Amino acid sequence: MTTSIWHDSANLDLETLNGLHKNTVCEVMGIQITEVGPNFVRGTMPADGRTFQPMGLVHGGSNVVLAETLGSIAANLVVDTSKYYCVGQEVNANHVRGVRKGVLTGTATLAYQGRSSQVWEIKIEDDRGKINCISRLTMAVVKHG
């Protein structure tokens, strides 16, 4: 059994996490958090007109929005948010397969956790479980005040 990495399990409610997306790019793009496991955050994004580029494929920037959303949520769940908050410093993405339809599922897992930074790996798959994008997100851990 995997030990939970989350600071406060009370903050793992999917309705609360998805409620944070109201009036944001995530709401516009249809991004939903679907699962929080002991060491991962998972979410979905539709492959449709909201997320496409002109050639009818999921836009690379859409993949990055999904990746950064999942990693950012996860990063903030790891820290004591009464003392710290996490913000993105750097994100990269390798787009390895085009997607024209369906739903993409991204899973963020912690690759490194330090006092002032975290690194998250986010794998995004299509409906068939084929990798569409592999992303790495570096988050700064910032003290309030």
Query: Among all residues, which ones are annotated catalytic?
Result: 68
Instruction: Report yes or no on 104 lying in a domain.
Output: yes
Q: Which residue, among 142, 13, 135, 21, has the nearest Cα to 71 in the 3D structure?
A: 135
Instruction: Report yes or no on 120 lying in a domain.
Output: yes
CATH of the domain at 76: 3.10.129.10
Instruction: Report yes or no on 3 lying in a domain.
Output: no
Q: Are 41 and 73 in contact (CB under 8 A)?
A: yes
Tens-digit pLDDT profile for the chain (145 aa)?
678 999 987 668 999 999 999 999 999 999 999 999 999 999 999 999 999 999 999 999 999 999 999 999 999 999 999 999 999 999 999 999 999 999 999 999 999 999 999 999 999 999 999 999 999 999 999 999 8
Helix (H), strand (E) at residue 40: strand 40-46
pTM: 0.95
Instruction: Report yes or no on 1 lying in a domain.
Output: no
Q: What domain range is 98 assigned to? A: 9-143
Q: Which residues, 6+ apart, have CB-to-CB distance to 57 below 8 Å?
A: 98, 99, 100
* Number of domains the chain is built from: 1
Instruction: Report yes or no on 39 lying in a domain.
Output: yes
